Amino acid sequence: MTHIIEIKNLKKYFSNTKAVDDISFSVEEGELFAFLGLNGAGKSTTINIIVGVLALNSGECFVNGFSIDERQKILPDIGIVFQSSVLDKNLSVYDNLRYRAMLYGMSKKEFEENLKFFSEKLEMKEIIKKQLSKLSGGQKRKVDIVRALLHKPKILILDEPTTGLDPKTRRLVWDMINEFRKTTNLTVLLTTHYMEEVSIADNVVIMDGGKIVAEGSPLTLKNKYAKDYIKAYKYDEKILAILDKANIPHNKDKKCLEIKFNDTEKAKDFLVEYSALFNDIEIVKGSMDDVFLSVTGKELKETV
């Protein structure tokens, strides 16, 4: 596979604040790559450097084989959804998107064809002629996403793209993005607070205080940093004494007995050994929330 984005020893400081503090990573072509971190962790600063909004202090950044110093060769291949909309609130949806298409040199025919495709995928037909300022927050977000994909880029950068969207719209957006990934090998670089979006990524980088504190696939991170759980709904009370004697962490409430293990194999072995004491159980894999808490010592809220 090809590195379509490559970052080496990237640093960006604001006075005494180390917004991005010597990070290195690469993104493979066609990959869904997720940044995870609290606000101020350095995610958006990194993205702003990649797209040329901010200058780096030191390090190297390559996009599609070009250094970010060659910005004019990079930008045509990138679509980006910023945290804040960059659309003109006084124009209609159609005029906003037509203006963006003209900046990319798209013909009117190509624009109309692409607009028809996206408006059908995201159920936007009823808002195409409306003034942007008259739309809801979720509708505006859909327009921002279409603006980023209109020229069918090689790289889609999504900075908190689905914040404020209802679950149905979020699903529509991701269905469309995943279709693009399958048909055009689109690379997606994502920052998000939504764990279900992180969980479908090919690779994840967790940032904290401007540094990368963990990276890998969701499964790798969960296996390394999160504990698995046995949830027992019907069980013999004798198991409590066994857990206490073995110093195995557990919690009991009215609904179930929750037993923590370092990995799935240990949970399975325990169940096999004491199967006679359990009637109704499930093994629950550690979550990305658990990973984030383990790595950073902080909870990640799914709000901005």
The per-residue pLDDT for range 220-245, each reduced to its tens digit, is: 998 888 888 899 999 999 999 999 99
Is 184 a residue whose pLDDT tops 80? yes
160 and 36 fall within a common domain: yes
Phi/psi of residue 283, each to 5°?
-100, 125
215 and 252 fall within a common domain: no
* pLDDT band at residue 40 under the 50/70/90 scheme: confident
Is 104 inside any structural domain? no
Is 112 inside any structural domain? no
Q: Say whether 74 sits in a helix, a strand or coil.
A: helix
1 or 108, which is more confident?
108
Is 101 inside any structural domain? no
Inter-residue contact 248 to 241 (CB < 8 Å): no
What's residue 244's pLDDT?
A: 94
232 and 154 fall within a common domain: no
Is 45 inside any structural domain? yes
Domain count, the chain: 2
- CATH (domain of 274): 3.30.70.260
Residue 87 per-residue DSSP state? S
pLDDT > 90 fraction of the chain, expressed in percent and rounded? 58
Is 290 a residue whose pLDDT tops 50? yes
Is 303 a residue whose pLDDT tops 60? no
d(CA 245, CA 248): 8
Q: What is the pLDDT of residues 88-120, one digit of tens each?
A: 999 999 999 999 999 888 999 999 999 999 999
Q: What is the pLDDT of residues 137-175, one digit of tens each?
A: 888 988 999 999 999 999 999 988 777 778 888 888 888
Which of 166, 46, 155, 139 is closest to 85 using CA atoms? 139
* Encoded tokens for 84: 């804040």
Is 68 a residue whose pLDDT tops 80? yes
d(CA 230, CA 49): 44
Q: Where are the beta strands (DSSP E) in the chain?
A: 3-14, 17-28, 32-36, 58-63, 66-67, 78-81, 155-159, 187-191, 203-208, 211-216, 228-235, 250-252, 257-261, 278-284
What's residue 188's pLDDT?
A: 96
* pLDDT band at residue 209 under the 50/70/90 scheme: very high
208 and 83 fall within a common domain: yes
80 and 189 fall within a common domain: yes
Q: How many C-alpha atoms does 277 have within 13 Å on its Cβ side? A: 15
151 and 257 fall within a common domain: no
Q: Span 257-281, mean pLDDT?
A: 90
Is 97 inside any structural domain? no
82 and 231 fall within a common domain: no
Inter-residue contact 211 to 56 (CB < 8 Å): no
Of 221, 237, 253, the residue that ends a domain is 221
d(CA 216, CA 224): 10
Is 125 inside any structural domain? no
Q: What is the model's pTM?
A: 0.84
Residue 1 per-residue DSSP state? -
Of 202, 221, 240, the residue that ends a domain is 221
User: What mean pLDDT is reported for the chain?
Assistant: 90
d(CA 234, CA 236): 7
Is 135 inside any structural domain? no
162 and 237 fall within a common domain: no
Of 197, 221, 245, the residue that ends a domain is 221
155 and 68 fall within a common domain: yes
Place of tokens 């066609």: 30
14 and 61 fall within a common domain: yes
Inter-residue contact 302 to 194 (CB < 8 Å): yes
* Structural domain of 179: 3-88+147-221
Is 301 inside any structural domain? no
154 and 37 fall within a common domain: yes
* Encoded tokens for 116: 């028809």
15 and 57 fall within a common domain: yes
Quickly list H helices, the chain. 43-50, 71-74, 93-103, 108-121, 137-149, 167-184, 195-199, 218-225, 238-245, 264-273, 288-296
Q: Give the other-Cβ count within 10 Å of 3's Cβ.
A: 16
